[in-house]
Structures are given as C-alpha cells and as structure tokens.
C-alpha cells in the first residue's frame, strides 16, 4: 500500500496548481481518472484572462494572479502565459459596471466601428477592458504539473478514486483498478465530480453543480480577425474572439445544468450561438470548423470553495471554479496551500480573506 501525506483527486488546473504549491512540503500524489490530466474542463476553456469576470470576489483572485501569469518566476517557466487582446463589453444601451479596480474606458460608436468592422448599428457603445488577454492554458497546466513533479510530487493518470474511508486519522483510498492508497489528507479537486467524490468518501456534498458551456469555431467571410478583441454582450448572452485570420471562437454563454459527464455540444446551442453572433456583425458565416463543450461547476453562491470540510477531518475542498478556474489558478493555489498547510499566506494572496471561499460558509 502506497502512503502519502496528501492525495489530490483530479489533475486539472485546480489539482495541478495546488500540487505544485505543496509537493515540496508534503508527500503529494495527484490521482487523475482519465489518461490525460487536462481532459475535462481545463482542456476545453475559452482560454481568456478577464479581470471583471465572475464578480468582485473572484476578481480579487484573478487580479492577484495576473502578474504571475504575465511574468512567472524563471524556475516555473521561461515564458509568460498571457497575450493581451482587450475585451469590448458591447451594449445597445447602458454600459455595464465592472468590479472596483478593473481598468476600463468607454468607447462610443465611431471607435467601436473601427474596433469591430461590420458591427451592427444597434450596438451603440462599449466598455473597453484593455487588460483582457489570452492564456496559454496547455503551457500553464503543463508547467504546474512539471513543478509538482520536480518538487517531489507524483502524478498518476488512469486512477479513478472509487471510495475512501477514514480511520485513526488516515484515509484508505480504493482506486478503480483495485489498488489501495493511504493518506492523511484528501483534496477534492475533481471539478464537475466534486460532489460525487465527497459522497464516495462519506462526506456530505456541498451542492457543486456542473453546467455545460458550448464553444464553436466559425470560419467567416472577413479576414484580419486574429487580434480582434474579445467581444461580449454586457447582458451576458454571447462572447467571441478572433482565433485565426478568418476564424472566431464563439460561445452562446449557455449554462445548461447536467450530471458530470464527458460533455458534448448540442445542435440547438450551436444554432443559438450563430444566431446571436449574426445579431452583432454583418460577416457571412462560411462554416462551423469545430465545436466542443465543457462543464463549469458552481457552488450555490458561485464562489469557489477552498478549505477543510467543516465536519470531515482531513477532507479539503478545492472546487467550484466555475468559468474562472484558469485565470485564478496561481492565486487560488497559493491561498489553498496556506490553508492546507496551516501556514501564513504567500504575499500574492495576503490581502484576500480566505473566509470568503471557506466550505464552512455552507454549514448551518
Ligand atoms: C467552455 C468553457 C470555457 C471556459 N473559459 C474559461 C476562461 O476563458 N478562463 C478561465 O479562467 N476559465 C474558463 N473556464 C473554466 C475553467 O475551464 C475551469 O474552471 C477549470 O478548468 C476547472 O478546473 P478543475 O481542475 O477544477 O476541473 P477539471 O479540469 O475538470 O479537472 C477535474 C479532474 O478531476 C478528475 N476526476 C473526477 N473524478 C475523479 C475521481 N473519482 N478520481 C480521480 N480523478 C477524478 C476528472 O477526470 C478531471 O480531469 C471555461 C470552462 C468551459 C467549460
């Protein structure tokens, strides 16, 4: 039987980033059910960094992560992970309000026409958020896994937690392949499966709900789109960004409740995306080049959950990263690591109150 201090369940961005933070201080194992660590939500994102996204509390984690994502330490990566493109929150009437501290400026119709050639007349103005950037998600995720391993951690793919029981301060974990592992702490970083993993460990679920989101790659009859800003509706009904010279990534901003699964796009959501896109620009649509879907998982208050369970000793939550799990990952991992190790927080997160994200907020 292999013995660890911490077993992290889930090798997506949440598990990988926390593993990178703690592996030099605790004997750490990441177990991932799939053959690849980024197979689910982490490998399916829209890959943007947008400080205003998710509201003021999430913005604290995103802003705290920004500098590291732009210029990580040399031992972590020789390159930054961000490429600036800016975001236009477009509106037919009023401009949206952004969380405090997020840089933005108003754009009126003449400038909007230059920034989005062919934008339809009813879109009268926009708020430009210049700090919005693309994230190189694959490189970031790989760097977290590499950092975890080089600090002494182990990553085991094809290893699904089946059940776990706690006795005498230790968890005995049954893996689906029949093997058994032992650890003092289980970290639940299982994304859409977080509640199922809790139940499999006889821990009460918190109500982490997976919601499907659809992405479509469209080829259109206009070129020069690669650096088009991210464009989103201030009312939250679509977003798109330039991908290649004549292609965009588009989402209908859908949020369909589902069981945890290998999510796939539905025709109706692709059609809705295209319909909404056509209401924004007059560009002809040549074809759907590809489409995919992934699960964004939310706690009831749509804030992430970091911390030890209120009732189950040795069970640590790292879940509910919604649509912001990539852009918040550096700060979230530092905050979670401080809680897990019972240490003072890193300077990156010292001004963030961890109680905001504690699982104890759901205890009556
Ligand atoms: C369409 C879409 C667009 C998005 N766009 C953005 C964006 O632009 N920016 C941003 O920051 N975020 C974005 N997100 C959100 C982001 O992708 C997620 O918040 C993040 O990937 C969640 O990471 P995770 O590690 O919690 O989940 P996952 O990546 O899903 O990892 C959880 C892992 O746990 C594993 N697992 C489950 N059960 C078990 C078990 N019993 N045993 C072992 N392993 C198990 C799963 O196989 C899975 O690999 C988007 C998401 C979607 C779907």
The CA distance from 227 to 313, in Å, is: 49
Task: Please state the rounded mean pLDDT for residues 88-107.
Answer: 94
pLDDT-derived band at 235 (thresholds 50, 70, 90) equals confident
Q: What is the pLDDT of residue 72?
A: 98
Ligand 1 pocket test, candidate residues 323, 324, 357, most atoms within 8 A of CB: 323
CA–centroid distance, residue 257 to ligand 1 (Å): 15
Give yes or no for residue 174 having a pLDDT over 90: yes
**Residue 148 near residue 20, CB atoms below 8 Å:** yes
- For 183-220, the pLDDT digits (tens) are 999 999 999 999 999 999 999 999 999 999 999 999 99
Ligand 1 first shell, C-beta below 6 A: 9-15, 31-34, 39-42, 44-48, 160-161, 189-193, 197, 213, 215, 294-296, 321-327
The answer, yes or no, to whether residue 364 has pLDDT greater than 90, is: no
- At residue 1 the predicted structure's pLDDT band, cuts being 50, 70 and 90, is low
What mean pLDDT comes out for the span 301-329? 98
The predicted model scores a pTM of 0.98
Averaged pLDDT, 324-344: 98
Average pLDDT score over residue span 44-49: 97
pLDDT on residue 289: 98
Cα 279 to averaged position of ligand 1 atoms, centre (Å): 31
Average pLDDT, the chain: 97
Indicate the pLDDT class of residue 4, thresholds 50, 70 and 90. Answer: very high
Average pLDDT over residues 168-172: 97
The answer to whether residue 291 scores a pLDDT higher than 90 is yes
Distance from C-alpha of 87 to C-alpha of 322, rounded to nearest angstrom: 20
49, 58, 190: residue to mutate for ligand 1 pocket, most atoms within 8 A of CB: 190
Nearest residue (by CA) to ligand 1, atom 33, is 10
- Residue 251 CA: which ligand 1 atom is closest? 1
- 39 C-alpha vs ligand 1 centroid, how far in Å? 8
Distance (angstroms) between ligand 1 centre and the Cα of 115 equals 32
Residue (of 9, 43, 18, 6) closest to 263 by Cα position: 43
d(CA 150, CA 138): 18
């Amino acid at each position: 039987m292999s013995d660890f201090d911490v077993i992290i369940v889930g090798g997506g961005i949440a598990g990988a980033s926390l593993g990178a933070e703690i592996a030099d201080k605790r004997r750490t194992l990441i177990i991932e059910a799939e053959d690849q660590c980024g197979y689910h939500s982490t490998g399916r994102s829209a890959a943007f960094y947008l400080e205003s996204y998710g509201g003021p509390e999430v913005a604290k984690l995103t802003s705290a992560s920004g500098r590291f994502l732009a210029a990580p330490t040399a031992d972590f990566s020789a390159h930054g992970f961000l490429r600036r493109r800016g975001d236009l929150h477009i509106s037919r009437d009023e401009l949206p309000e952004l969380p405090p501290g997020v840089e933005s400026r108003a754009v009126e119709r003449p400038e909007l026409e230059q920034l989005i050639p062919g934008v339809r007349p009813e879109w009268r103005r926009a708020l430009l958020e210049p700090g919005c950037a693309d994230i190189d998600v694959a490189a970031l995720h790989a760097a977290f896994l590499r950092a975890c391993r080089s600090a002494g951690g182990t990553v085991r793919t094809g290893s699904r937690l089946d059940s776990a029981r706690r006795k005498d301060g230790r968890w005995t974990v049954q893996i689906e392949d029949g093997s058994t592992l032992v650890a003092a702490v289980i970290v639940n970083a299982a994304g859409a499966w977080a509640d199922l993993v809790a139940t499999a460990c006889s821990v009460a679920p918190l109500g982490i709900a997976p919601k499907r989101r659809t992405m479509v790659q469209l080829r259109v009859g206009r070129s020069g789109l690669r650096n088009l800003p991210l464009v989103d509706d201030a009312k939250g009904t679509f977003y798109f960004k330039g991908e290649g010279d004549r292609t965009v990534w588009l989402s209908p901003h859908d949020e369909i409740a589902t069981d945890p699964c290998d999510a796939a796009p539905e025709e109706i959501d692709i059609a809705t995306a295209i319909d909404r896109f056509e209401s924004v620009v007059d560009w002809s649509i040549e074809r759907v080049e590809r489409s995919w879907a992934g699960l964004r998982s939310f706690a009831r208050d749509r804030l992430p959950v970091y911390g030890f369970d209120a009732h189950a000793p040795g069970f640590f939550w790292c879940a509910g990263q919604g649509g912001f799990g990539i852009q918040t990952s550096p700060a979230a991992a530092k905050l979670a690591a401080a809680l897990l190790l019972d240490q003072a927080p890193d300077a990156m997160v010292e001004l963030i109150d961890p109680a905001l994200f504690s699982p104890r907020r759901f205890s009556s």
